[in-house]
């Protein structure tokens, strides 16, 4: 972006302000990591007397207007963070929007309405992309979290305007790229979350360079099943059991230290308030019970396994983090990662939300804003939103 001629121009900036609005507007400040992360890009442009036109999606309105998914509350929160007003516009294209942008003073910012209120966004319709592009002189892509989507605002607009990656995009690519190509060793991967299938590409791509592998969360159930352990009523990805077994064997063959849960917290119902909860050894999960979190012994073993690592990549909570009763494993592991004097990279999505809620985000080297995008990047896939930029 520093090489793009932006001084005094209208800059259309694709940001990702897809905050969890279902938590309520009053809790926006608890989940504003994505807003804070792109402020350096916005300030860079405002300081150069740009008229900054911000655009983002929010939720999944599927091409129709949904009142609860309007961008106005997000613009209000951003105004507070920037210390200057960010006006929310009633749409993202059309004559009224064009007039509002043309009437902007240099060094001011506006926010367009939810891009996904228009079906042309997700369909990557050229006409919609041209309408967005017509609002500006230059385009800045700073929405890493949607860089894996070939949408009008991520790949269509860059074909119409001089374009560049924003400061956040640059940092995301630098930090995640370094973990892949030049990590400080030893390199550890902490994998959690619900599904093995979400992490297949990451595991296969990281494994050749990996020194330590720690597996928790729901995906650990499938790995435990691959080792012949009972898993009770917990969801098992039966089609991934063989893959899990193969990954563990490859890791052993390559001398990678593998940590699976030694003990787990189980309940007699998949709910936040089950009748009975207890801790059992990983190989002693009772029939009909659910694995909800890793146990205290596992958390301690994971922390010890991370000791001395030069780089840690963490993606996925250690338990059913959305239930307060089962946050402890994620909290303990998160604190262990935050205490390390090394490069600590946290994948986006639920992992980023977890470290933010736990108050650990500021103690990590980098908390990615991209959930699916970070997984695909770490998995070695080309992201359309990056490929569409010059030198992408």
Q: What is the largest CA-CA distance in the chain?
A: 68
Residue range 321-358, pLDDT digits in tens:
999 999 999 999 999 999 999 999 998 788 988 998 89
Q: What angle do CA 25, 28, 32 make, to 5 degrees?
A: 155
Residues labelled as active-site residues: 34, 195, 349, 372
pLDDT band (50, 70, 90) for residue 392: low
The first and second tokens of residue 356, run together, are 């933010």
pLDDT band (50, 70, 90) for residue 20: confident
- Residue pair 279/231 in contact (Cβ under 8 Å)? The answer is no
Query: Has residue 63 got a pLDDT over 80?
Result: yes
pTM of the model: 0.88
What is the DSSP code (8-state) at residue 194?
S
List, in sequence order, the alpha helices (H) in the chain.
33-46, 72-82, 95-102, 119-122, 126-133, 167-181, 200-206, 219-226, 241-253, 296-306, 328-339, 350-357, 372-378, 384-387
The per-residue pLDDT for 24 is: 66
- Residue pair 165/389 in contact (Cβ under 8 Å)? The answer is yes
Domain architecture of the chain: domains with CATH: 10-165 (3.40.50.1260), 172-378 (3.40.50.1260)
Query: Has residue 306 got a pLDDT over 70?
Result: yes
- The DSSP element (H or E) to which 19 belongs, if any, is none
Distances (CA, A) of 217 to 152, 214, 235, 299, 318: 35, 10, 11, 12, 4
- Residue pair 243/207 in contact (Cβ under 8 Å)? The answer is no
CA distance 300 to 331: 12
Q: Residue 88 pairs with which residues in a beta bridge?
A: 111
CA distance 239 to 21: 34
Mean pLDDT of 186-197: 93
Query: Has residue 26 got a pLDDT over 90?
Result: no
- Residue pair 266/277 in contact (Cβ under 8 Å)? The answer is yes
pLDDT band (50, 70, 90) for residue 192: very high
Q: What average pLDDT is seen over the chain?
A: 94
The per-residue pLDDT for 33 is: 82
Beta carbons within 10 angstroms of residue 388's beta carbon: 19
The first and second tokens of residue 33, run together, are 């990591």
């Amino acid at each position: 972006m520093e090489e793009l001629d932006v001084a005094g121009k209208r800059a259309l900036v694709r940001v990702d302000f897809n905050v969890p609005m279902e938590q309520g507007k009053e809790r926006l400040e608890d989940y504003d990591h994505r807003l804070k992360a792109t402020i350096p890009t916005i300030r860079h442009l405002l300081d150069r007397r740009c008229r900054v036109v911000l655009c983002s999606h929010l939720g999944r309105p599927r091409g129709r207007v949904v009142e609860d998914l309007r961008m106005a509350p997000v613009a209000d929160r951003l105004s507070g963070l920037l210390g200057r007003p960010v006006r929310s516009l009633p749409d993202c294209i059309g004559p009224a929007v064009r007039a509002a942008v043309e009437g902007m003073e240099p060094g001011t910012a506006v926010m367009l309405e939810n891009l996904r209120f228009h079906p042309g966004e997700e369909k990557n319709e050229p006409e919609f992309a041209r309408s967005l592009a017509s609002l500006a002189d230059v385009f800045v892509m700073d929405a890493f979290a949607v860089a894996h989507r070939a949408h009008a605002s991520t790949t269509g607009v860059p074909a119409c305007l001089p374009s560049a990656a924003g400061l956040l995009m640059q940092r995301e690519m630098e930090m995640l790229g370094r973990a892949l190509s030049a990590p400080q060793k030893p390199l550890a991967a902490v994998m959690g979350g619900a599904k093995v299938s979400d992490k297949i590409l990451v595991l296969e791509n990281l494994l050749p360079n990996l020194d330590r592998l720690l597996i928790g969360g729901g995906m650990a159930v499938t790995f435990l099943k691959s080792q012949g352990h009972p898993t009770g009523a917990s969801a098992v990805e039966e089609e991934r059991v063989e893959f899990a077994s193969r990954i563990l064997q490859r890791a052993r063959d390559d001398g990678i230290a593998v940590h699976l849960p030694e003990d787990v917290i189980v309940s007699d119902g998949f709910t936040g308030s089950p009748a009975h909860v207890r801790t059992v050894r990983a190989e002693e999960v009772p029939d009909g019970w659910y694995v909800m979190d890793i146990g205290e012994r596992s958390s301690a073993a994971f922390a010890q396994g991370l000791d001395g690592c030069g780089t840690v990549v963490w993606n996925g909570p250690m338990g059913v983090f959305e239930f307060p009763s089962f946050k402890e494993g994620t909290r303990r592991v998160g604190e262990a990662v935050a205490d390390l004097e090394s490069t600590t990279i946290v994948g986006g999505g639920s992992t980023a939300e977890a470290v933010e809620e736990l108050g650990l985000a500021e103690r990590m080297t980098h908390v990615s804003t991209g959930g699916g995008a970070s997984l695909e990047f770490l998995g070695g896939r080309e992201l359309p939103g990056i490929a569409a930029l010059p030198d992408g």
